[in-house]
């Protein structure tokens, strides 16, 4: 997807190396990536990679996220990544092991691996499996 977006940008501008075009090119790719994530999160609660890992983004009660939550999640995730990954390191210290963008956006990551069981937050699944064993 980013390859096609980059190709289209360079085909229309014919220049990706000038001091003005390079930041515009980067913003374009960031916008395309953001559109992909927002569309996937709002349409089905997950991206293609999240489907592979049996994960889903939802509100804490399991309801689909809103556009406002998706935007907040995206903006804070980019911010956390640009600050040397602090938004992702946050999960190491969070009581529910949530990333900062999930905490601030009011979203949760749920697992969908056990189709015969109700979906539950990722951290609770680990707790339940250790209690059973």
What are the tens digits of pLDDT across the range 2-27? 889 988 888 888 776 778 888 888 99
Supply the DSSP string of 3-29, one letter for each residue: HHHHHHHHHHHS-SSSTTHHHHHHHHH
What are the tens digits of pLDDT across the range 27-79? 999 999 999 999 999 999 999 999 999 999 999 999 999 999 999 999 999 99
Statement to judge: residues 37 and 90 lie in one domain? no
Statement to judge: residues 78 and 38 lie in one domain? no
Statement to judge: residues 39 and 101 lie in one domain? no
Q: What is the pLDDT at residue 123? A: 59
Statement to judge: residues 29 and 3 lie in one domain? yes
User: Could you tell me the residue range of the domain that residue 53 belongs to?
Assistant: 45-133
Q: What is the pLDDT at residue 16? A: 63
The number of distinct structural domains making up the chain is 2
Assess contact for 93 and 73: CB atoms under 8 A.
Answer: no
Assess contact for 5 and 27: CB atoms under 8 A.
Answer: no
């Amino acid at each position: 997807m980013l390859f096609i977006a980059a190709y289209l940008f360079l085909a229309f501008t014919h220049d990706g190396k000038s001091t003005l075009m390079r930041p515009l090119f980067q913003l374009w790719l960031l916008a395309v990536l953001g559109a992909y994530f927002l569309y996937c999160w709002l349409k089905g609660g997950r991206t293609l990679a999240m489907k592979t890992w049996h994960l889903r983004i939802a509100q804490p009660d399991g309801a689909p996220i809103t556009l406002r939550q998706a935007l907040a999640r995206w903006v804070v995730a980019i911010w956390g990544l640009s600050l040397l990954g602090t938004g992702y390191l946050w999960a190491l210290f969070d009581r529910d092991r949530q990333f900062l963008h999930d905490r601030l956006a009011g979203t949760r990551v749920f697992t969908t691996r056990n189709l015969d069981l109700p979906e539950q937050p990722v951290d609770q699944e680990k707790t339940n499996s250790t209690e059973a064993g």
